Amino acid sequence: MVLLAAAQLARAQQYTVPPVVSGVTGGPAFSEWFRFRPFGWSADGKFAWLMSHDIDGRGGTVYTYVIYDAVEDSTVFSKADDSYDWGTDADATEEESWKRSGEEVSAALAKHGIVQSPGIEVSPFPLQRAADRYTASLSVRNDPSKDETDDYRIASYTLTLSSRARGSKIVTRKDEVGATQVGVDGYILSPKEPRILVVVSELRRAFEGYEAALVFYGAHLLVGFRK
């Protein structure tokens, strides 16, 4: 029954390659590092996207499809499609990757109840919701053995979500970061429930220069706060 329902949802949805979403004002321009294409949310707090990342030096593009559980903060599906392994002269595009991986990804999206929705944005904080106002902040701890010029000086960080009406809560503590710079880029709001994904970028040394990675953390907007 579950497989049948997933197949029916996949047919009804007719999943397609989503439009690209750019960075928020003041945050990194996503297109400089990768292309972020969100599919949408499920009713139970899962969020899905496609990330395209060009590989400097080696060449080629890696297309990574992810379904993320914003309740448990865990990845429930991930597939990486590397154009370097295609073995053809086909252009490295999202559409070409979708021809190769779309059937498998669509099945996973349907299995997890993802509804593809247009108009998904990464919005800047503060988040105004009814009479409440939310902000997010990072507390960073540098590695004491590194100096200000070291590429791997950030050892850990704590992400805190604050509500004017409810107080604040720690969303996550992350250790062994090994980054040069981290920052809160904004949030993605679920249309299904009072839940967001906080978007954090981590800048670190790569093969040639630097590259950024997006990290997502789920946070409910009504529970877990303390004054």
Residues 79, 49 share a domain: yes
Q: What is the DSSP letter of 223?
A: S
97 and 149 share one domain: no
Q: What is the DSSP letter of 105?
A: H
Cα 41 to the chain's mean position, in Å?
12
Domain boundary among 85, 116, 147: 116
Distance CA 202, CA 126 (A): 20
In a domain, 86, yes or no: yes
- Considering the domain architecture, whether residues 78 and 184 belong to the same structural domain is answered as no
Same domain, 102 and 185: no
Q: What is the pTM of this model?
A: 0.88
Residue 203 lies in a domain: yes
Q: What percent of the chain has pLDDT over 90?
A: 64
Q: Is residue 9 part of a domain?
A: yes
CB atoms under 10 Å from CB of 27, counted, come to 17
Task: Tell me: pLDDT of 59 over 90.
Answer: no
Q: Which domain holds residue 169?
A: 127-220
Q: What average pLDDT is seen over the chain?
A: 88
Shared domain for 101 and 35, answered yes or no, is yes
Single residue among 84, 116, 148 that ends a domain in this structure: 116
Phi/psi at 187 (5° precision): -145, 160
Over 90: is that where the pLDDT of 12 sits? Answer: no
Summarize the confidence of residues 12-31 as an average pLDDT: 77
Question: Could you tell me if 160 and 90 lie in one domain?
Answer: no
pLDDT tens for 131-156 read 999 999 999 999 888 877 777 889 99
Q: Is the pLDDT of residue 225 over 90?
A: yes
Same domain, 89 and 143: no
For residue 147, the model assigns a pLDDT of 76
pLDDT for the residue numbered 29: 62
Do 65 and 131 lie in one domain? The reply is no
134 and 104 both lie in a single domain: no
Question: What tokens does 108 get?
Answer: 């996973």
Q: 195 and 145 in one domain? A: yes
Domain count, the chain: 2
Domain end position, chosen among 116, 145, 176: 116
Q: Do 77 and 10 belong to one domain? A: yes
The confidence band for 55, taking pLDDT boundaries of 50, 70 and 90, is confident
Do 61 and 94 lie in a common domain? yes
Question: Alpha-carbon Rg of the chain, whole angstroms?
Answer: 19
Encode pLDDT of 190-214 as tens digits: 999 999 999 998 988 776 677 788 8
Query: Is 202 in a helix, a strand, or coil?
Result: strand
Residue 24 has pLDDT above 80, yes or no: no
Task: Indicate whether 35 pLDDT > 70.
Answer: yes
| Residue 220 scores a pLDDT above 90 | yes
What the block records as the tokens of 224 is 């877990």
